[in-house]
């Protein structure tokens, strides 16, 4: 059986990392990674070195998102190439250390795959975050995971956007994958959320094992939600929030928001409606950490991405 | 029961942000201040953001939990350079809203809180014999249908009462959940607003001479004990999560043999007490640092007397 279609060849994924505690109060990842540091049997796969790693130990210790600055925004070229020093914010120093161990970002020595474990207060279920629409390896992995956990769903958020894309800790790897599971309050560990994250990772590692064994994955398509626009809370002239996410929108991540639909509710009960041009699919609705980033939710548009066939070199 | 008459409630206080990341109370107090709401009928209404520094950084507290600083001992402790911010603030609030136990204190103090636990709308106080509070509870329970309404009583003498509501002659907390800390949910905010509206409504009726009939109130829960997270003996880390069958099931029955914790190893830890009790504050974020997984309570019904304002 000869293949007349193009097959993209990738090196074996031999070095894989699992990051927890990039935000110190997102407990599923912190707990899973600490468990696996003690006993890594569950994450071992033949031919793969899987390294569990706590990226922001000081934030984890204080059970806070970050100490000086958000680690998951700190992996910019500017930060990574700045001269190292104690005067740098803690998370910038940490980003440089992580880049040395798991990168350098963009180089052939970088880790093959990094999974970065996050929780959200938004009702996003088990979301996979994809940074590039052209990463066939990641697309094939996500396709595999979606099939494996069906009928449960695993939405894919594509953060490829000139302004909204941010420099994540996982971005030092060749194939970065974000796992965002919610809803879960910061600082809280919910058993069901913890177990779903565990299951998704199991399937992801199974995919890597199969790939490394030489299995060819045929061309596939993956439905994704491409990030479109950041929507802030309505504020007064002093910058104070004057309305809340409307009860009709709250918890409705990934559901259509049409022009005219309720979007915010003021504290005295008035409805503010969505006035965009067309239907969008909001997500990260009412994420605790985004109040300070001026984001009530982000809109997305549905897209189908195609991934060519892949196999190992 | 014999009818009771009590003095009018002429000074009412409403406090939010006692924990700086419990957002419903913060936004509700700010909204009432924006509306310049200063009276409830003949009563004056004082609105306070209790812990402004913690609200500023959206944290539960900066040095120590403000809502544990209102015992007689802490309120009378001398202030030095080493005194934590919240202890100083508690003493300030005692001057503003108290003094605790004194005739000059607020007649009614209502403190607004949120919890990550699935507790619906809970009123919390130190006694089931404060007839003002019990009648307010009954009104809220009758009028509010958007959430289950319950009363939790902590059996402590006034000197040991540690929370801010103990500053008032009549005091209680309104606790609404589930809501993540640092988040304001419209549905939760609206429940709290309804509870505050009903409270102020009752106060106005009471002050103007309404006669409230006696009767029975149910869904009253008395704190019995706390249950702690199991820890790994070697690492001292918490070794389990609340079992999925207990998660979100505040106030349901916990029988001997029912699952409590799911260890990360997969083992199930079961409740081994002898008495069937009711869990609450199940998986409250702020209690991890005290290692508390949940509290247990006994359920009871309370008979309340007819109540009317005392005429001079």
Minimum CA–CA partner of A190 in chain B? B241
Q: Nearest 5°: CA angle at A185, between B273 and A120?
A: 140
CA B219 to chain centre: 15
Q: What is the mean pLDDT of chain A?
A: 96
Catalytic residue among B86, B175, B194, B284: B175
Classify the C-alpha dihedral B28-B34-B38-B41 as positive or negative. negative
Which of B31, B182, B284 is the best residue to mutate to test the A interface, defined by the most A CB atoms within 10 Å of its own CB? B182
Give the model's pLDDT for residue A37.
Answer: 96
Beta bridge partners of B14: B47, B110
What digits encode the pLDDT tens for the residues B180-196?
A: 999 999 999 999 999 99
CB contact under 8 A, B180 and A191: no
Classify the C-alpha dihedral A36-B265-B228-A192 as positive or negative. positive
Give the model's pLDDT for residue B22.
Answer: 98
CB contact under 8 A, B264 and A31: yes
- The 8 Å CB, 24+ separation contacts for A138-143 are A138/A175, A138/A176, A138/A177, A139/A220, A139/A222, A139/A305, A139/A307, A140/A207, A140/A217, A140/A220, A140/A307, A140/A310, A141/A175, A141/A177, A141/A204, A141/A207, A141/A208, A142/A177, A142/A222, A143/A217, A143/A220, A143/A221, A143/A222, A143/A307
Give the model's pLDDT for residue B1.
Answer: 87
Give the model's pLDDT for residue A5.
Answer: 63
CB contact under 8 A, B241 and A189: yes
CA B10, CA A87: separation in Å to the nearest integer?
56
Asked if A158 contacts A176 with a C-beta cutoff of 8 angstroms, the reply is no
Minimum CA–CA partner of B116 in chain A? A185
Does the CB of B178 have a partner CB in chain A at under 8 Å?
yes
User: Shortest Cα distance from B181 to chain A (angstroms)?
Assistant: 7
Residue B281 has pLDDT above 80, yes or no: yes
For residue B67, is the peptide bond before it cis, meaning its omega torsion is within 30 degrees of 0?
no
pLDDT band at residue A3 using 50, 70 and 90 as cut-offs: very low
B275 is catalytic: no
Asked if B47 contacts B14 with a C-beta cutoff of 8 angstroms, the reply is yes
For A147-155, what is the mean pLDDT? 97
Q: Name the pairing type of β-strands B108-114 and B149-153.
A: unpaired
Query: Both tokens of residue A235?
Result: 């504020």
For B231-250, what is the mean pLDDT? 94
What digits encode the pLDDT tens for the residues A82-128?
A: 999 999 999 999 999 999 999 999 999 999 999 999 999 999 999 99
ipTM: 0.95
CA A237, CA B213: separation in Å to the nearest integer?
49
Beta bridge partners of A303: A224
pTM over 0.90: yes
Query: Both tokens of residue A38?
Result: 């003690």
Residue B53 has pLDDT above 70, yes or no: yes
CA B18, CA B26: separation in Å to the nearest integer?
9
Give the model's pLDDT for residue A208.
Answer: 97
Residue B225 has pLDDT above 60, yes or no: yes
User: Shortest Cα distance from B242 to chain A (angstroms)?
Assistant: 6
Q: Is B163 helix (H, G, I), strand (E, B) or coil?
A: coil
CB contact under 8 A, A38 and B235: yes
What digits encode the pLDDT tens for the residues B89-139?
A: 999 999 999 999 999 999 999 999 999 999 999 999 999 999 999 999 999
pLDDT band at residue A1 using 50, 70 and 90 as cut-offs: very low
User: Where do we find the tokens 């207060």?
Assistant: A121
Percent of chain A topping pLDDT 70: 98
């Amino acid at each position: 059986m000869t293949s007349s279609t193009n097959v993209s060849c990738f090196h074996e994924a031999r070095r894989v990392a699992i990051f927890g505690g990039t935000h110190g109060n997102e407990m599923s990842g912190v707990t899973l990674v600490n468990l696996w540091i003690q006993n890594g049997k569950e994450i071992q796969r033949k031919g793969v070195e899987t390294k569990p790693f706590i990226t922001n130990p000081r934030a984890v210790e204080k059970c806070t998102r970050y100490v000086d600055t958000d680690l998951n925004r700190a992996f910019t070229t500017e930060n990574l190439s700045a001269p190292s020093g104690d005067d740098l914010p803690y998370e910038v120093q940490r980003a440089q250390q992580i880049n040395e161990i798991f990168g350098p970002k963009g180089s052939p020595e970088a880790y093959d795959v990094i999974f970065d474990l996050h929780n959200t207060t938004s009702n996003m279920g088990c979301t996979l975050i994809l940074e590039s629409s052209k990463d066939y390896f990641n697309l094939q992995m996500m396709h595999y995971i979606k099939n494996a956990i069906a009928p449960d769903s695993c939405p894919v958020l594509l953060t490829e956007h000139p302004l909204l894309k941010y420099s994540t800790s996982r971005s030092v790897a060749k194939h970065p994958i974000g796992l965002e599971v919610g809803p879960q309050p910061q600082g809280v560990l919910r058993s069901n959320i913890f177990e779903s994250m565990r299951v998704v990772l199991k399937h992801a590692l199974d995919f890597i094992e199969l790939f490394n064994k030489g299995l060819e994955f045929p061309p596939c398509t993956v439905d994704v939600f491409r990030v479109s626009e950041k929507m802030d809370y309505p504020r007064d002239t002093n910058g104070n929030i004057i309305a809340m996410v409307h009860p009709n929108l709250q918890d409705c991540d990934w559901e259509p928001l049409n022009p005219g639909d309720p979007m915010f509710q003021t504290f005295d009960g008035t409805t503010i409606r969505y006035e965009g041009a067309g239907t969008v699919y909001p997500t990260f609705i009412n994420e605790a950490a985004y109040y300070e980033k001026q984001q009530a939710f982000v809109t997305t548009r549905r897209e189908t991405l195609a991934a060519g066939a892949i196999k190992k070199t | 029961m014999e009818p009771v008459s009590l003095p009018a409630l002429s000074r009412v206080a409403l406090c939010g942000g006692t924990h700086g990341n419990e957002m419903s109370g913060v936004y509700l107090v700010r909204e009432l201040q924006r509306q310049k709401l200063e009276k409830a009928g003949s009563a004056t209404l004082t609105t306070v953001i209790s812990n402004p520094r913690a609200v500023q950084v959206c944290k539960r507290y900066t040095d120590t939990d403000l809502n544990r600083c209102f015992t007689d001992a802490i309120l009378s402790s001398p202030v030095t350079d080493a005194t934590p911010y919240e202890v100083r603030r508690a003493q300030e609030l005692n001057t503003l809203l108290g003094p605790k136990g004194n005739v000059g204190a607020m007649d009614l103090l209502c403190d607004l809180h949120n919890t990550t636990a699935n507790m619906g709308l809970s009123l919390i106080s130190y006694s089931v014999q404060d007839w003002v509070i019990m009648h307010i509870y009954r009104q809220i329970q009758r009028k509010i249908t958007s959430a289950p309404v319950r009363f939790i009583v902590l059996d402590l003498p006034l000197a040991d009462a540690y929370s801010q509501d103990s500053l008032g002659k009549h005091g209680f907390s309104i606790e609404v959940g589930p809501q993540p800390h640092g988040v304001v949910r419209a549905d939760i905010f609206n429940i709290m607003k309804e509870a505050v509206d009903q409270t102020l409504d009752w106060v106005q009726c009471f002050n103007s001479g309404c006669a409230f009939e006696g009767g029975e109130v149910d869904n009253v829960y008395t704190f019995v004990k706390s249950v702690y997270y199991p820890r790994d003996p070697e690492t001292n880390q918490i070794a389990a999560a609340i079992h999925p069958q207990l998660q979100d099931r505040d106030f349901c029955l916990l029988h001997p043999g029912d699952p409590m914790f799911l260890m990360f190893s997969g083992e199930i830890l079961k409740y081994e007490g002898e008495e069937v009790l009711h869990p609450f504050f199940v998986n409250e974020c702020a209690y991890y640092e005290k290692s508390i997984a949940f509290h247990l309570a006994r359920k009871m019904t309370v008979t309340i007397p007819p109540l009317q304002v005392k005429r001079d």
